[in-house]
Chain A
């Protein structure tokens, strides 16, 4: 069992890791074909995984409905939404699913007038949350946080026309803050992140990091 669950996955990880790393340095057609085949496999596996995901979702909500756990009514909506969408998807504007997807069907309507506005609504919550988070946490507790606070105020003013209304230096200073100190810090983080990513990849390829297989070691 250990052989199947540990050794074989580690061998696959090592072989594929080394192969795909080397693929980057080989421009030959064979190497490009390999990349294509592997990415195609990836897409196929991801396609099948959708079924596992859907099963997990429906099973979980079915259990919630069955056991009448608190808030089980929301789980009914999961089924309701899924069934409605599936029906209109299969109907395909009266042409049924074995024909090409039709334009302007009820399925499109659901996407444009239910999913898109609902998504946009969730997205717009950001504006409110930024305001409340800023109010709670932006305090000039130390010298560093005072600098941060001032920079934030300048950048916020510089990003909207009112900043220019107050002084035309504000947008210029805001741009400088974004393009110089901000960018420098980001690049620093990015260099660290890249090195960390290389080290992690190497640990996985060599089988030193195996906690992603489950268990502690």
Chain B
């Protein structure tokens, strides 16, 4: 009996550590294996606010296992400041193709970006500060901190290398355009296909002059920063010049004060050039309203009251396109529209006599002036389009065979 008691006692004592370790390790999903590599570096192609950190994935990665990054400004510091905590099955290099591309092994490495300045919020930090990082892997109460200390300095970059593809396209297209501009000077008799809407400008203005009714020019809703508005203003300049010659009455309605001021200047110059500065009246180039629908109501009112003989809708339009053009159609005016807002094109095509579609809007200035240098750019656009079509066909063929490098080549970052 005594022997039995002794055996029980000894077994109980030896069992205690076993129980303790079992309880401890029961909280862990498995033994934590720390990552083998850990690196920090300045994030490329940025303004100099971030540093990047990368480390190899660990077999322990799981949703309830975390990576904790500690940051310190001193290599021998205590590394007490937590910079980031992420689930260990997230944030891989695959999420940063702008740095690592589309390599197969990207899924085996973690990658994060840190804003050290924000982490040390409020503290004065030298621009040349080097930051030091430590990585820990943690699950439940257990945590393993790697010995490796990674360091990096956040530096601003002067060139965004990943935008090189975009830059190359810019250079190629610009070179083509410049070439054809120079070429056009030597060969001014360039063929230009007929654009019905622009040929009809004279007819519309002639009709307005005969009827003694005004010509209404509407240039969309966008501001002076929009290329469509600039194209519209160019066309306005050409039309105003013709109107001054015809001695017709031009009304320009605006919804943006800057566009209005520019339009006033353009119309005034055109009248001046035609030798009729006295015919220019600044009250004919006016602001009607700065909001979309009040603007529509006002322009609609002008159309129904003054019944212009010709309406020009040139520029970028939104939902107001059909309301304006249909109101104009009811008054029996000749209507010429030109827009690159492709959602509104169907409305103009159904309600206007002539419609300039998309790029024809940009071609209008060259077409109306027949100036060789401007016409040269049109040829360049065609060549550029040809190149794009070739690339599209090539990309489609390659992608059909599973080769996606050409897609990545044109990727925008």
Name A's B-contacting residues (CB within 8 A).
21, 24-32, 42, 45-46, 49-54, 56-57, 59-60, 63, 70-71, 74, 115, 118-120, 122-123, 125-126, 129-130, 132-134, 136-138, 186, 189-193, 195-204, 208-209, 211-217
Whether the Cβ atoms of B47 and A27 lie closer than 8 Å is yes
Whether the Cβ atoms of B342 and A186 lie closer than 8 Å is yes
Whether the Cβ atoms of B351 and A27 lie closer than 8 Å is no
- Nearest-CB distance from A180 to chain B (Å)? 14
| B272 in contact (CB, < 8 A) | yes
| B151 in contact (CB, < 8 A) | no
| B215 in contact (CB, < 8 A) | no
Known interface pairs A196-B363, A202-B174, A211-B237. Does A129 touch B385 (Cβ–Cβ under 8 Å)?
A: no
Chain B positions 314 through 342: 1 when the CB is less than 8 Å from some CB of chain A, otherwise 0: 00000100110011010000000000101
Whether the Cβ atoms of B266 and A214 lie closer than 8 Å is yes
- In-complex Cβ contact of B362 among A27, A32, A196 (8 A): A196
- Nearest-CB distance from B285 to chain A (Å)? 8
Closest to B43 in A: A27
| B388 in contact (CB, < 8 A) | yes
- In-complex Cβ contact of B358 among A27, A130, A196, A198 (8 A): A196
Known interface pairs A133-B350, A193-B340, A203-B374. Does A125 touch B270 (Cβ–Cβ under 8 Å)?
A: no
- In-complex Cβ contact of B283 among A50, A60, A122, A186 (8 A): A60
Q: Residues of B within 8 Å of A, CB-based: how many? A: 89
- In-complex Cβ contact of A28 among B47, B322, B350 (8 A): B47
CA distance A209 to B227 in the complex (A): 12
CA distance A211 to B368 in the complex (A): 11
Whether the Cβ atoms of B359 and A26 lie closer than 8 Å is no
Known interface pairs A197-B227, A199-B380, A211-B365. Does A57 touch B359 (Cβ–Cβ under 8 Å)?
A: no
Whether the Cβ atoms of B258 and A27 lie closer than 8 Å is no
CA distance A52 to B224 in the complex (A): 15
Closest to B226 in A: A197
Whether the Cβ atoms of B384 and A24 lie closer than 8 Å is no
| B163 in contact (CB, < 8 A) | yes
